[in-house]
Amino acid sequence: MWFAFPDWAYKPESSPGSRQIQLWHFILELLQKEEYQGVIAWQGDYGEFVIKDPDEVARLWGIRKCKPHMNYDKLSRALRYYYNKRILHKTKGKRFTYKFNFSKVVLVNYPLLDVAAAATGSPLLLTPGPFAGAPGPDAPPLTPETLQNLFSTPRLGEPGGRTPLFTPETDKLRLDSPFPFLGPGASGYSKPPSLLGPYGRAFPEYPWNFSPYLTGPFPKLAPSLYPPHFYPNPLGSLGHLPAAGAGGGPTAAPLLAATGEGLGPERPSGLAVAPRLALPGAGGPEATLAGKEDSDSELEITDVSGCSSDSEGDEGLPVPPKTKSGKGGAGS
DNA sequence: CTCGGAAAGC
DNA sequence: GCTTTCCGAG
């Protein structure tokens, strides 16, 4: 059970070439596990997370990368490199707080969406394209609602007062993060077997357990994201999307539009996205989803065995889930 | 703390 | 290409 990103969002490899785990994947992993809530956790807006214990996160990262001298200073530098990549953002004013950009994450992780759509003839393609015609109010390419509807996430009740629907200071930012996760969501997402047939074959090389969400909403999402005619060869071109600053070329920006960020100067404005996101508390009771067999693949974050025997005097204690409760904020 | 340039490593 | 390391500036 994750609180935010659905399983598939934490994809295996992001770029061809570098197979090593990337920092943001790692962060996502940590965020995914409740054991680390004392160290890092979702907080605030969609995709926003706070590093409660920078030293610990750095240590864990260091373990993962076999970099005993890792520290928050260095880790944060790496994080800062994500700003330009649009993967991450800094939440200014809040210490140790950053925000993920879901659209980027999905795009980076699922370039094959396209293939699936194309291969199957995309029977579900409903939207001709945001550019072809005016996006009718009833057929938006991709709105927060759509996403939220597509990827429902069970379990949200966070006792400690959780995610406010909006923050006073950044209320305008609401639009920029259409995170499907956290959505109270359509409770009925079990998995339409009928859809499995045609698409099942599309992902033969995915060893990781595929979540049910994909089978259903998946094909639906694909066409709106990037219609086949936009990307004849999706695999190659999806690496860097228009988001990065495409000067030319028709950009498939439905997703981006939905995520209208305060960063991009280029925004198709063709789509007016309704800023309403159903949040915990706002959307409603949803359904705790009956599925409880969410045995996720285990991530041995504490696995240091792969590192070289050399330990530069830094022994470590891989055991992260420390029952620390006293550490509130690093006072400074 | 946070931001990025620069250089080096993988 | 993605960090890691070092570091001066705000």
Q: What is the pLDDT of residue A19?
A: 65
- Position A115 pLDDT exceeds 60: no
> What is the tens place of the pLDDT at every residue in A296-317?
444 444 556 677 665 444 444 4
State the pTM of this model.
0.50
Summarize the confidence of residues A143-165 as an average pLDDT: 35
Alpha-carbon dihedral A236, A239, A243, A247, rounded to 10 degrees: -50
Q: What is the pLDDT of residue A141?
A: 38
**A77: CB within 7 A of chain B nucleic strand:** yes
Summarize the confidence of residues A274-286 as an average pLDDT: 33
Reported confidence tier of residue A74, pLDDT bands at 50, 70, 90: very high
> What is the tens place of the pLDDT at every residue in A126-147?
333 333 333 333 333 333 333 3
Strands A48-51 and A88-90: unpaired
Nucleotide nearest to A66 (CA to C1'): C4
- Position A42 pLDDT exceeds 70: yes
Summarize the confidence of residues A250-272 as an average pLDDT: 40
Q: Which range has the worst mean pLDDT, A45-54, A57-66, A185-194, A286-295?
A: A185-194
CB-to-strand C under 7 Å, chain A 60-119 = 61, 65, 67, 69-70, 73-75, 77-78, 81-82, 85
Q: What is the pLDDT of residue A144?
A: 34
- Position A51 pLDDT exceeds 80: yes
Q: What percent of chain A has pLDDT over 90?
A: 20
CB-to-strand C under 7 Å, chain A 50-69 = 61, 65, 67, 69
Question: Do A103 and A151 form a contact (C-beta atoms < 8 A)?
Answer: no
DSSP A133-165: S---TT--SS-HHHHHHHS-------TT----S
Question: Do A120 and A113 form a contact (C-beta atoms < 8 A)?
Answer: no
CA atoms within 13 A on the CB side of A238: 27
- Position A165 pLDDT exceeds 70: no
- Position A172 pLDDT exceeds 70: no
Give the largest CA-CA distance in chain A: 64
Using CA atoms, how far apart are residues A58 and A218, in angstroms rounded to an integer?
Answer: 35
Structure tokens at A166: 């909006």
Reported confidence tier of residue A103, pLDDT bands at 50, 70, 90: confident
- Position A122 pLDDT exceeds 80: no
Alpha-carbon dihedral A78, A79, A83, A88, rounded to 10 degrees: 150
Q: What is the pLDDT of residue A101?
A: 87
Strand B nucleotides with an atom less than 7 Å from a protein beta carbon: 1-6
Question: For A35, which DSSP code?
Answer: G
Per mean pLDDT, which of A115-119, A159-163, A208-212, A236-240 is the most reliable? A115-119
Residue A41, helix vs strand vs coil: strand
- Position A81 pLDDT exceeds 50: yes
Cα–Cα distances in Å, from A215 out to A151, A204, A238?
A: 11, 13, 21
> What is the tens place of the pLDDT at every residue in A195-224?
333 333 332 333 333 333 333 333 333 333
**A19: CB within 7 A of chain B nucleic strand:** no
Q: What percent of chain A has pLDDT over 70?
A: 26
Tokens 């996502």 sit at which residue?
A28
